[in-house]
């Protein structure tokens, strides 16, 4: 079965022809994206409900593809269905070439499926933080229930020939329920977070069900070669009767469900769009304004969603170590730390925010001097234009997650530095590290002294070395941008075998 060669060819033709966003799709096989949320949020304006675009790595990666080539996005639209919400979705869809199919998740489902299993089981476990897991049996029951709900929503709106592309850890089991009704459909999956090693994954009480559900997909994409190795090792260890073939970053798994391809394909950003936006006059003006606020200072920037995997307290302690142990760097550097609100109704995230703010207050209290505040802390979302100006203003990006599937902020920061300036300090546990290691300063985020030394190295780095490093980083991102990721995915779908069970 030539599953997606026509899709891939048409996408190539559209790209080379310069087809812009919003153009009608000419694909012979429709692309259907299934994710936890549709890329919209609702706000009340003047007593009326209206929509606005949402943000996030998944949305920034996928929405340009659907805007350019059409299709369907299936995702949660809140807890209550209403004619007003559906009218807003139809109105929003008129602005581009793809449509929305909403899934309505009840408040009870949200607590147990999303806040529970997704974010108190899978999220910490897959980030090697199993001590934070809460293995509550009802979470698993709700997780299956909601994954079935997403599968049924996709089934109702799709046809046999559609390519169904499911995304991320909240929806690991969608293909299992989808195939109950449409066993020969083309259903693929991409995991945006890391996949853990067997000694971590084995803690999961439902490890076998998760792995077997994953193998209901035709294709599984993961971020890095390490994630691919971990997944294959888990399959070998926990499903020993399955046959695994291949080497390197590509494997095939043959079992009772049929054949599944597994491949590492790191996600990226729209390089040209980010570079173009960073060069806009309004961004340049705002950049100059920000830099005037910190005359003679090196500006380091950290931009993170509020999450314990991002290593924000560890980063702040490393910054404190720099100021404590090296007085010569006081009044020489300021850290702008932006924390974007996330999951604030979960107690552990509330505790994390409090911990971060106490650290900021303590560091500023210990080291501030008239005219200089060590840390400028912001707890809010940042509009795109402001974000680009902040990237360009910063001499140093301090991106130190404890574990990350990829980390698109690192790629955005480098792309925004159109003059090939700036220094990237990057955690070696970020998925982006293998790609960006040649130009970044790699650090262990748990090593407080090591991160402080990396900051010293960045401050003292000669302009020539800064330029050469950033040139390498930007070249790498340009050559492996979101279009390359998209093409990699569709190329991997080509010539997949018929979905049929293996012979005994």
Whole-angstrom CA distances from 312 to 16, 47, 338, 347, 429 are 42, 38, 10, 17, 14
Element (H, E) at 93: helix 83-93
Name the token pair of 27. Answer: 């694909």
User: Is residue 65 classed exposed, middle or buried when 0-12, 13-18 and 19+ CB atoms within 10 A define those classes?
Assistant: buried
The catalytically annotated residue of 218, 227, 404, 481 is: 404
CB-based contacts of 303, cutoff 8 Å, min separation 6 = 338, 340, 382, 387, 390, 409
Q: Does residue 192 carry a catalytic annotation?
A: yes
Which residue, 268, 288, 256, is CA-closest to 221? 268
Tokens in use for 233? 């090792």
| Catalytic residue selected from 192, 251, 417, 488 | 192
Clarify whether 380 is annotated catalytic: no
| DSSP 8-state assignment for residue 405 | S
Q: Are 474 and 278 in contact (CB under 8 A)?
A: no
Among left, alpha and beta (phi > 0; psi -120 to 50; other), residue 473 is alpha
At what angle are helices 225-238 and 207-214 packed, to 10 degrees? 120
Rounded to the nearest angstrom, the gap between the alpha carbon of residue 172 and the centroid of all alpha carbons in its chain is 16
Dist CA 35 CA 46 (whole Å): 30
| Contacting residues for 252 by C-beta, under 8 A, at least 6 apart | 244, 245, 246, 259, 260, 261, 262
Count of other CB atoms within 10 angstroms of residue 279: 14
Tell me the catalytic residues.
192, 404
């Amino acid at each position: 079965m030539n599953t997606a060669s026509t899709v891939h060819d048409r996408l190539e033709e559209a790209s080379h022809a310069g087809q812009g966003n919003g153009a009608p799709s000419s694909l012979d096989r429709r692309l259907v994206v299934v994710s936890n949320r549709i890329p919209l949020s609702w706000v009340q304006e003047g007593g009326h409900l209206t929509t606005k675009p949402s943000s996030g790595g998944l949305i920034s990666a996928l929405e340009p593809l659907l805007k350019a080539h059409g299709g369907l996005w299936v995702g949660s639209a809140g807890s209550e269905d209403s004619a007003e919400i559906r009218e807003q979705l139809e109105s929003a869809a008129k602005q581009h070439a793809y449509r929305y199919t909403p899934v309505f998740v009840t408040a009870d489902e949200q607590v147990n499926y999303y806040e529970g299993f997704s974010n108190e089981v899978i999220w910490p476990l897959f980030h090697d933080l199993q001590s934070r897991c809460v293995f509550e049996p009802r979470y698993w029951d709700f997780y299956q229930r909601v994954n079935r709900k997403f599968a049924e929503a996709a089934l109702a709106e799709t046809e046999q020939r559609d390519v169904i592309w499911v995304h991320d850890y909240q929806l690991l089991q969608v293909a299992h329920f989808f195939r109950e009704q449409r066993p020969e459909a083309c259903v693929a999956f991409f995991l945006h977070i890391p996949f853990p090693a067997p000694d971590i994954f084995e803690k999961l009480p439902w490890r076998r069900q998760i792995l077997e559900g994953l193998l209901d997909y035709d294709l599984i994409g993961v971020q890095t070669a390490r994630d691919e190795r971990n997944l294959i090792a888990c399959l070998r260890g926990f499903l020993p009767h399955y046959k695994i073939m291949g080497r390197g970053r590509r494997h095939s798994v043959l079992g009772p469900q049929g054949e599944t391809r597994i491949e590492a394909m790191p996600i990226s950003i729209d390089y040209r769009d980010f570079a173009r936006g960073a060069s806009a006059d309004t961004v340049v003006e705002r950049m100059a304004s920000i830099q005037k606020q910190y005359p003679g200072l090196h500006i380091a920037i950290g931009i993170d969603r509020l999450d314990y995997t991002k290593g924000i307290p560890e980063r702040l302690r490393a910054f404190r170590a720099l100021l404590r142990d090296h007085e010569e760097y006081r009044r020489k550097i300021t850290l702008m730390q932006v924390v974007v609100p996330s999951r604030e109704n979960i107690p552990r995230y509330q505790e994390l925010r409090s911990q971060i703010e106490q650290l900021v207050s303590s560091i500023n209290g210990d080291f501030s001097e008239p005219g200089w505040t060590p840390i400028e802390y912001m707890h809010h979302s940042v509009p795109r234009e402001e974000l680009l100006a902040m990237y360009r203003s910063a001499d140093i990006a301090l991106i130190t997650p404890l574990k990350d599937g990829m980390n698109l902020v690192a790629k955005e920061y480098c792309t925004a530095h159109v003059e090939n300036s700036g220094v990237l300090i990057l955690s070696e546990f970020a998925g982006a590290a293998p790609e960006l290691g040649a130009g970044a300063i790699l650090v262990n985020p748990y090593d407080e002294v090591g991160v402080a030394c990396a900051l010293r190295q960045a401050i003292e780095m000669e302009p020539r070395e800064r330029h050469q490093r950033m040139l390498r980083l930007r070249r790498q991102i340009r050559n492996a941008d979101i279009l390359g990721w998209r093409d990699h995915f569709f190329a991997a779908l080509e010539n997949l075998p018929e979905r049929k069970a293996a012979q005994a």
